[in-house]
Amino acid sequence: MDRRIRYLQKRIPELKRIEGPPHNTEQVFFGAWVTLEDEKGEEVTYRIVGADEFVPQKNWISVDSPMARALLGKSLDEEIQVETPSGRKELLLLKISYRHPETS
């Protein structure tokens, strides 16, 4: 527990509060909800969050993950290629939102 406290104490000065969506909401940045379509036509929505916030059960992925790195800076209808443990995936970027999809 002490180790975790020390880690968090070191992280606090590095944290930045994000007040709202970025100026260009047509591109993927930190905090975005993105909907992707795979080769089979199946859709999945992810949220890009900080390294300390990821929750796989909610599809919240770390900004440091290979998927997030492949998405950052991309725009609607762009094809994304990402290496996964099960091999290379090609995905189509269908939606970008900076609000939870259920409230958009």
pLDDT tops 90 at residue 93: yes
Question: Which residues have CB under 8 Å from 10's CB, separation 6+?
Answer: none
What is the Cα–Cα distance from 73 to 34, expressed in whole angstroms?
A: 12
In contact, 36 and 43? CB cutoff 8 Å: yes
27-73 residue pLDDT tens:
999 999 999 999 999 999 999 998 888 899 999 999 999 999 999 99
- The partner residues of 44 in beta bridges, in order of sequence, read 36
Confidence of residue 8 (pLDDT cuts 50, 70, 90): confident
What is the Cα–Cα distance from 36 to 87, expressed in whole angstroms?
A: 17
Over residues 7-28, mean pLDDT = 76
Confidence of residue 1 (pLDDT cuts 50, 70, 90): confident
Over residues 81-94, mean pLDDT = 92
pLDDT tops 70 at residue 17: no
Fold of 20-97: Chitinase A; domain 3 (3.10.50)
Task: Return the domain boundaries, the chain.
Answer: 20-97
